[in-house]
Amino acid sequence: MRRAARARDAADPLAHLRARFVVGEDDIYCVGNSLGLPRVEAAERAAAFVREQWGTHRVAGWNRAGWMEAPFRVGDTIGRLIGAAPGQVVVGDTTTLQLHRALHAALDLRPEPTPTKRVIVVDAENFPADLYIAEGVAEARGCTLRRVPMAELGQAMNEEVAVLAASHVNFRDARALDMAELTQRAHAVGALAIWDLAHSTGVFDLQLDALEVDFAVGCTYKYLNGGPGAPAFLYANRRHHGRVRSRTPGWLGHRAPFDMAPDYEAAPGIRAFLCGTPRMASLDAMAFALELIEGVSMAAARRKSMELGEAFIAGVERFAADHELALLSPRRAEERGAHVALTHPRAQPLARALASRGVAVDFRAPDTLRFAFAPMYTRHLDAVESAARLGELLAEGADHDPAFAGSGDGPVT
């Protein structure tokens, strides 16, 4: 398997990108679905921002260095990766706040809640923060929140539904929903569709405009490698511009912020969704990361991530049945995102043991290991090797070794 993996790496059209990231020759980093890796020149870029922009222009940088337009300029770059024409994506704040805005905006485009149109449907297995936000918005707007299993979202679309909100790829098991079909089903009953693309952007060939998605949100620190806490994005389809509004009317979302008017008048289009001051150091770091992948075919990235997942699963299947290891993710690559989830009764000790063998993965309570295969820097050899080292550790009984015992959730370092 290693020989075949090396041959695939030699022929990989994305292989040259690995050298542009901070990753060692023997480093197997399978946590890109939590935090992507920095570019090799990221430190110099950060220093250059301080030296050549902030340090040189100082407060004039808002005009001379184009800081005021950065949320939209970077937004358009992300738009090209997700199939969105210019003027429909803004960058700022967090995914949680962007989802809050999208949910309110979608409800504002529907009639006021009535007994026949007052339901928000969410994926019951979605990331907890998404569920918390949906619950809060439903309470504030007098709506009913309906939590539906992923497999039943399509059937849940009826005339009561005002908004469907779901993640394209599930954070835990990597199951990918059919965005085209579910968006169409929502529209068929007069509902709007909001998609969380946190585990999709940068590893799927997304076509939001073509699918007529209404709103989408996503983070930029996973497969886009924007850095810890990098600001999130919001997509609002152009057909809603002119009618849509933000329920967090910040100063920079005003039509003329420097008029300092006491009353709010929303800026046109996507600009209304900008709230606070752009986080320029983070935005500049994100823009630098995006420069590297902007020219990469998302179709090619998707193909490679599927190949990596398949190679890993094929390796795991050789020993899984003998060691209480089970595949949680869908077996078919087309139904999976860019990570693979396995279950094991002693998953956390295994994650710690893998870290000791140079394989970084993460653990989700109570029994899940997630292996992410970021196509920009992960090799086919890494996928095969991570499966092999997992098999070796299980054969050695590392999951029972007191040295790797521990408790708690979150990434293993």
Active site residues: 127, 196, 221-222, 370
Omega cis (within 30) before 149: no
Task: Determine the Cα–Cα distance for residues 393 and 375; give it in Å rounded to an integer.
Answer: 26
Calculate the CA dihedral of residues 252, 254, 258, 263 and round it to 10 degrees: -130
Which residue from 216, 213, 273 is spatially nearest to 248, judged by alpha carbons? 273
The answer to whether residues 106 and 143 touch, using CB atoms and an 8 Å cutoff, is no
For 149, half-sphere exposure in the C-beta direction (CA atoms, 13 angstrom radius) is 2
Which residue from 372, 359, 90 is spatially nearest to 203, judged by alpha carbons? 372
Phi, psi (rounded to 5 degrees) for 194: -120, 130
Which residue from 339, 409, 401 is spatially nearest to 374, judged by alpha carbons? 339
Here the tokens at position 208 are 């939001």
